[in-house]
Amino acid sequence: MDEVDKNIINYLQGGFPICESPYQCVAEQLSLTESELIKRIESLLAIGILSRFGPLYHAEQMGGALTLAAVKAPEQQFNRIAEIINAFPEVAHNYERNHELNMWFVIATDLPERLTVVIEEIQQQTGLDVYNMPKINEYFVGLKLEA
């Protein structure tokens, strides 16, 4: 990762423009061509420096539901259970934790009633209890990590 890549990462943490040519707009701000910016973002994704580049949607504001959930996955079955849970399109991401509840994941659905259905399906397919931990309050934390 060179200085140009660092500048791209640092700049994009401040947001991505909503306009007719957003890549061109960002490229101009960083003194790059649009194609160079796109190639560098693709490269950062391919080598794993960036794990994701795309919009974040607020499921609840779009009429859906969102929750944090966890299971107690037996160590010897951890990968198999992770594969089952990750196969659900509603599961946004999955974390291993050093805790009794050792697998945590986010579920985002297009309809509020779908959330209960997904949790029940995960329980049926894994044979594990899913601990549903919906948010009570939401707080904005403007976290920016300098590359």
Cα separation, 76 vs 81, in Å, equals 10
Give the pLDDT of residue 77.
95
Does position 2 have pLDDT exceeding 90, yes or no? yes
Whether residue 57 has pLDDT greater than 80: no
Output the pTM of the full model: 0.69
pLDDT at 30 over 90: yes
| Residues whose CB is less than 8 angstroms from the CB of residue 70 and which lie 6 or more positions away in sequence, other chains included | 97, 101, 102, 103, 104, 105, 130, 131, 133
pLDDT tens per residue, range 92-134: 888 889 999 999 999 999 999 999 999 999 999 999 999 999 9
Domains and CATH numbers, the chain: 3-46 (no CATH), 59-133 (3.30.70.3460)
Helices (H), the chain: 3-12, 22-29, 34-46, 78-86, 112-126
What is the band of 47 on the pLDDT scale with cuts at 50, 70, 90? Answer: very high
